[in-house]
Structure 1
Amino acid sequence: MSFKLNDYNPAAKPIRILSRHELLRFLHSLISHSDNMIRDTLLFSLLLSTGCRISEITELKVSDINFEDEMITLLKTKNKIQRVIVLRKGFGALLRKYQSIIELKDNECLFPGVAKNIPITRQVASNLFKKYLLLANLPDLRIHSLRHSFATHMRDEGMDLLTLMELLGHQKLQTTLNYTQPHYTRNAHIRIKEHEEFYRKFRSRK
């Protein structure tokens, strides 16, 4: 008689993502109710536009940002492999302005918590996410769903899986496939100017 515990594990449920309309509702809720709108807008805009893990964003220091080339170097990642993230056009100037407004030094955290050399915690960011979801009358989700939302929407807009895999920092293609929900995939042949610029910049740094 043989017994394998894995045979009795429940099947993993797909993580629910936010549709484009729901993302707009979420951002409207954030803008309407945030007590620190500049920080919160940048924090969630980075999560939504890069697909980074929450820890990768909260652990950022000002020195990790290349403002001119609009890139971020991720030194602390889940798989311990350093990688470079390309920002959307205009983000370098926004982050430079943000740094100036709250007077951050190069060795200080981009999103400080109780002190400028201590990052905001994942729990604080998660609580903010849940707060804005609730106020927008959206389902209660884990903050990691933003990473899945990014992956699904980028795939929806025609990004090839290998590029998406590198953006997400995955080592296996199957992991990236697990992040995209095929019932959202449509408009595969539509070319969007902003994304063409994003792909060009991303590929030029290889």
Structure 2
Amino acid sequence: MGVDDVGVDREEVVTEFGRYLRLERDLSPHTVRAYLTDVKSLLDHTHGVLGGLDIGALREWLAGQHAAGKARATLARKTACARTFTAYCHRRGWLSTDPGLLLGSAKAPRPLPAVLDQRQAKAALDAASSEGPKELRDQALLELLYATGVRVSELCALDVDDVDRERNVVRVMGKGRKERTVPFGLPALRALDRWCIHGRPLWMKAGTGPALFLGVRGGRIDAGTVRRVVHARLAQVEGAPDLGPHGLRHSAATHLLEGGADLRSVQELLGHASLNTTQIYTHVSIERLRAAYRQAHPRA
């Protein structure tokens, strides 16, 4: 195949780029779908001509997205996609130069996440009502989410053998297929034991497999069910913000730092590739300290 304006089949380009994102970059299915949608939009802008992908075309496309009212976070993703796509096309010989190198990196805003305070977290975890299989499962997954700060996708992917009850740790497969080991406390261990002994066997079917958390039909639990469980439990706590599983992750990280954990340890527990991602939780703690100071100090 040639370069620039020499004939390159658009569908082949999109297909090959998608394969690269999945197999070589190991991006999540959600991110791959978003990137491919962006690439198709970018190619529409150049009328399908790869040779039209110069820095001017990239900036015009992004300006059009901005004019259409796209959020800053979305524009940051589209910028990252464009840079990744032009670099890939250059390596494949479809572009003689890489115009994405001249494209500035858009910064997405990083608003401080809403979190539970420690009283609200305790109230949410103490709100279990009965001992049916659903209640046992819900309590176990809530305890484990808050104890470990794992992502909802990581929680859903857990198998029974991923839990080491002797060492009180769970083996998690995170982003980029990076495995990490995360500790948890006795309340989570007790809740997991109650679920595995008294709840999980009641929902097991012939094809259940090794999944730790199950749905009512015996299959592996899905992220949507976990979100509903978290929202429903927090709705029982007076004054608690309406958070999902990621809100429990934010809360766990914030409470760890408030309790004296160092930033590097929290980074490893959460599975963040960069310490910069973890640093947002220091800002959360500082803002909460300022709010408490303003409320309590007579000279604030």
Normalised TM-score (structure 1): 0.75
1:16 counterpart SS class: coil
For the 8 Å contact 1:152–1:185, the answer to whether it is kept is no
Structure 2 residue runs without a partner (length 5+): 1-55, 74-108, 291-300
Residue 144 of structure 1, aligned match among 218, 221, 246: 246
| 1:77 maps onto 2:77 in alignment | no
Percent same amino acid among aligned pairs? 28
Shift of 1:131: 1.6
Aligned 1:1-206 pairs, distance under 5 A: 9=72, 11-28=109-126, 30-32=127-129, 36-74=134-172, 76-89=173-186, 91-92=188-189, 94-102=191-199, 103=201, 107-116=209-218, 118-137=219-238, 138-180=240-282, 181=284, 182-184=286-288
For the 8 Å contact 1:66–1:92, the answer to whether it is kept is no
TM-superposition CA deviations, 1:75-95 (whole Å, max 9, x none): x32232011111214654653
Q: Does the C-alpha gap of structure 1 residues 123 and 63 become closer, same or farther in structure 2, counting only changes over 3 Å?
A: same
Q: Does the C-alpha gap of structure 1 residues 132 and 42 become closer, same or farther in structure 2, counting only changes over 3 Å?
A: same
55-64 or 3-12: bigger deviation:
3-12
TM-superposition CA deviations, 1:78-129 (whole Å, max 9, x none): 232011111214654653443222336995211101443x221111111121
For the 8 Å contact 1:54–1:122, the answer to whether it is kept is yes
Q: Which one has the largest radius of gyration?
A: 2
Give the number of the structure with larger relative contact order, counting CA–CA contacts within 8 Å between residues 6 or more apart.
1
Structure 1 residue runs without a partner (length 5+): 187-206
Structure 1 counterpart of 2:184, one-letter code: L
Q: Does the C-alpha gap of structure 1 residues 162 and 46 become closer, same or farther in structure 2, counting only changes over 3 Å?
A: same
Considering fraction of residues, name the structure with more helix.
2
Q: Does the C-alpha gap of structure 1 residues 179 and 79 become closer, same or farther in structure 2, counting only changes over 3 Å?
A: farther
Shift of 1:163: 0.8
1:199 matched residue in structure 2: none
Q: Does the C-alpha gap of structure 1 residues 96 and 21 become closer, same or farther in structure 2, counting only changes over 3 Å?
A: closer
1:119 counterpart SS class: coil
Shift of 1:31: 1.4
Distance (whole Å) between structure 2 residues aligned to residue 26 and residue 91 of structure 1: 14
Distance (whole Å) between structure 2 residues aligned to residue 158 and residue 172 of structure 1: 20
